[in-house]
Amino acid sequence: MVTGGGSGIGRAVAKLCASRGDSVAVLDIDGSAAGDAAAEALDAGAAAAIGIACDVSTEENVATAFAQAVKTLGALYGVFANAGMDTGAFLHELPFETWKRVLDTNLTGVYLTCKHGLQYLIQGGTGGSIVCTSSPAASVAFAAGGAGAYSASKGGISALMRCMAVDYARHGIRVNAVVPGATETKLMWANVDPAAMAEMRQRICAEVPIGRLASPAEIALAVGWLLSDDSSYVTGSHLVCDGGILAKASISV
């Protein structure tokens, strides 16, 4: 089960899982994008795939999507809680409605995805793996500023992940987070003026120690490992895939 699977990292994870022969349910608020990603998953080797329109901030949507996916594809064994958004503004100028929309999508969306995923994983009785998408913003403030809502949501995801890892270990369910850095996705440029994108990309590449943005496929490899039995003794952890951002001091001395 992949939320936010219609594009970016979510779509790359769906394709990677498909290449391993998994059955894949792709959830996205854009139902057409979810359907396209499911078709791509089938082409990549998925045993079966389904695309489902789902607003993860609405529990009825999430419950219906999980029920449909399990009925169509069979027992659940992995969840990538990834759907997210970012609308930036400095806090004193941030409308409450925007704050609520970001938190509802990013944090409440992960809560609802994990809540219903856990119910099916416990019911299945064979354990499983959940991966949540956090961010460097959960640990440090972005230098450009105006990311208060996004950072709060990602900090909440990291804290929630740790609690779930402890609470559900006895059921054989592992819960971890991936921490992507600057990645070439639509979300990366959500708050950037299109006219400034080229300059901003150049600046970011100069600031990231590895010297470039990640591709979604690179982040997907990390998620795929956390979802697989290769990480069978890993739970409650953050797998940081940020090109060295969090390892770097903010001053140039």
The single residue listed with the structure tokens 């949507």 is: 61
For the chain, what is the radius of gyration of the CA atoms? Answer: 18
CA distance 140 to 238: 14
In 3D space, the residue among 7, 1, 9 whose CA is nearest the CA of residue 217 turns out to be 9
Structure tokens at 7: 């594009």
Structure tokens at 172: 């054989």
Q: Is 5 exposed, middle or buried (0-12, 13-18, 19+ CB in 10 A)?
A: buried
- Residue 20 contacts residue 44 (beta carbons within 8 Å): no
List of residues 6+ apart from 31 with CB closer than 8 A: 51, 52, 53
Structure tokens at 66: 């999980």
Give catalytic status of residue 111 as yes or no.
no
The pair phi, psi for residue 241, each rounded to 5°, is -125, 75
CA distance 71 to 163: 29
The residue type found at 81 is A
197 φ/ψ sector (left φ>0, alpha ψ -120 to 50, else beta): alpha
Task: Please identify which of the residues 77, 111, 120, 150 carries the catalytic annotation.
Answer: 150
Q: Active-site residue numbers?
A: 150
